Amino acid sequence: MIEWISEPWHWSVSGVAIAAVMFMLLYAGKEFGVSSNLRTMCTIAGAGRKYEFFRIDWRAQRWNLTFIAGSVLGGFLAFFVFPSSEPVTISAETVNYLQSLGLSAPGEGDFHSSYVPAEIFAVDQLFTLRTLVVVILGGFLVGFGARWAGGCTSGHAISGLSNLQLPSLIAVIGFFIGGLFMSWFLLPFILQL
Amino acid sequence: MRFLTYLLIGTFFGFVMTKSEAISWYRILEMFRFESFHMYGIIGTAVVLGAIGVALAKRFGLTAFDGQALKLNPKQFSVPRYLYGGILFGLGWALTGACPGPMFTLLGQGIWLIGLVILSATAGTFTYGVLRNKLPH
């Protein structure tokens, strides 16, 4: 059992588990949506004093902040307490592509995680142009775009599509237009910075 | 007690995000390069099951534990905000390899730089709030 939950899960098991998270929150009277927490954090930091968008009752969002605190804990448990014995197994084509850019594939090198490349996410990369672009620009786009679109992957791709909402379908199409453009046209340059 | 429930559901979510490898920058790159079915399988399974479950819940009038209606707030229809916002989000998702849920999960795995991604995403949300009235919705 311990071994079974520690090793990477089949995509179908993971999909069932994510749907289960959504239904548990619905049953609890809440809505699955992670990016709302970023707005709540702005409100807590005092953004509501000047900007109307942040004038919300953050106490009503405490459940969601607790939820993401749990997701930090879940990441810790899954990584340190129940670690998988194998690095992330991505396709051979993707490995070849990474090598052509001079980036390490999952599990190569001595970085403590095989989930993300050391060349971007190791702390000693902080002041490289590549990492700054990924971290600062990438993070900013996620936060700005999610709020403009009214939700992220959890709110639109999972909750919204499950409820057959047309706005969520438009948002998900947008996610893919942006994601494909980044991956195919911009990322090859950014990763070589 | 209620908070323990949300903490536990969140913990389960972080665990699932890790074991599904949806938190992996590599998996997101692979998805957008169409080099594996893995991420499409995860999202597809979740959406199909989610849609069946939501349809059944509506058909049989299921409610939340306290008898309130399920929180399935329909979004107001328009195109610009979802399309433009979605595109910006997608650009960021492919760059950082992390959407908001995985960002928090990665923090629990000692990927400290993801803390800066979260701060930057919060700054992005703040900037949206400032510019909101000037943007098409």
Sequential pLDDT tens for chain A (193 residues): 888 899 999 999 999 999 999 999 999 999 999 999 999 999 999 999 999 999 999 999 999 999 999 999 999 999 999 999 999 999 999 999 999 999 999 999 889 999 999 999 999 999 999 999 999 999 999 999 999 999 999 999 999 999 999 999 999 999 999 999 999 999 999 999 8
Residue A70 lies in a domain: yes
Residue A30 lies in a domain: yes
B136 touches chain A (CB under 8 A): no
Residue A64 lies in a domain: yes
Question: Rounded to a whole number, what is the distance in Å from the CA of A159 to chain B's nearest CA?
Answer: 7
> Which one of B15, B64, B86 has the shortest CB-CB distance to A26?
B64
Residue A13 lies in a domain: yes
Number of domains chain A is built from: 1
> Which one of B11, B26, B96 has the shortest CB-CB distance to A73?
B11
Nearest CA in chain A to B77: A167
> Which one of B12, B49, B130 has the shortest CB-CB distance to A19?
B49
Q: Where are the domains of chain B?
A: 1-73, 75-137
ipTM above 0.85, yes or no: yes
Instruction: Tell me the chain A residues in contact with residue B6 when contact means C-beta distances shorter than 8 Å.
Output: 28, 30, 63-64, 66-67, 70
Mutate to test the interface with B, among A9, A36, A128, A141 (most CBs of B within 10 A): A141
> Which one of A64, A75, A142 has the shortest CB-CB distance to B89?
A142
Distance separating alpha carbons of residues B65 and B19, to the nearest angstrom: 29
Give the count of Cβ contacts less than 8 A between chain A and B.
494
Q: Tell me if B75 and A165 make a contact (CB, 8 A cut-off).
A: yes
Residue-range definition of the domain harbouring residue A66: 1-83
Residue A190 lies in a domain: no
- Is the overall model pTM greater than 0.90, yes or no? yes
Residue A127 lies in a domain: no
Percent of chain B with pLDDT over 90: 95
